[in-house]
Amino acid sequence: MSGDPVSAFGGIMACNRPVDERLVAAIGKQRFDVLIAPGFVDGALAELLKRRNLRVITAGSAARPAGWDVRSVSGGFLVQEPDTVVPNPDEWVCRTWRQPSVAERDALLYAWRAVRHVKSNAIVLARPEQVVGIGAGQPNRVESVRIAVRVAGERAAGSCLASDAFFPFPDGIEAAAAAGVTAIVQPGGSVRDEECIAAADAHDLAMLFTGRRHFRH
């Protein structure tokens, strides 16, 4: 809900684990049309069924099955392996002079896990266990940064940023720094990586390279 408080009203909420009474209490009076989860604790389900016009759906396991990811394109289909690789932060490389703090590493890992589900030129701003801003579907990466920052508002300051693919120019780094972002995780691999690293160093940002991109279409 914190990632996009405007769209949270009257939307669809999906959970990757069974819903219990604590989660129902956290949702409070926030309105959703659909709540989908692998399961529901009896007390939580009884409370949810009291809500008017809420559809409660049990979806089974949240684990993504093995197989192919199929997309329709003009004249055929795009068939590709699903992006299911579990991130390993121990393999990430810090390319800036400042190393991220423990709290920043936690937020970067959370943002990296989230950004894999966001479409093209995806940017996620996060704090530990909380997304605060999302930017996606733009023709350039810096515009996605600006959107994520605008959505996050004051929460952008002190947040950490994940980018699904490399920054082709340092302008996205500059925009993030201007909003108060403190650390970045991205795949790396741009011909302008050194310029992006220099921009991060100039603003005292910590920046990690994963060596793997997401880039969901």
Question: Does pLDDT of 77 surpass 90?
Answer: yes
Query: What per-residue confidence (pLDDT) applies to 104?
Result: 98
Average pLDDT over residues 70-97: 90
Count CA atoms closer than 13 A to 122's CA, side-chain side: 20
In the predicted structure, residue 1 carries a pLDDT above the cut 60: no
**Alpha-carbon dihedral sign for residues 177, 179, 181, 186:** negative
Q: Which architecture, in CATH terms, is 89-209? A: 3-Layer(aba) Sandwich (3.40)
Q: What is the pLDDT of residue 17?
A: 86
The predicted structure's pLDDT at residue 3: 63
The structural domains of the chain, with segments of one domain joined by +, span 11-58, 89-209
The yes-or-no answer to whether 11-58 and 89-209 have a common fold is yes
Q: For residue range 158-189, what is the model confidence (pLDDT) as tens digits?
A: 999 999 999 999 999 999 999 999 999 999 99
Q: Which of 21-30, 103-112, 133-142 has the lowest mean pLDDT?
A: 21-30
C-alpha distances (whole Å) from 48 to each of 30, 38, 60, 153, 214 are: 12, 15, 18, 31, 35
Domain 11-58 indexed as CATH 3.40.140.20: yes
Mean pLDDT of 107-132: 94
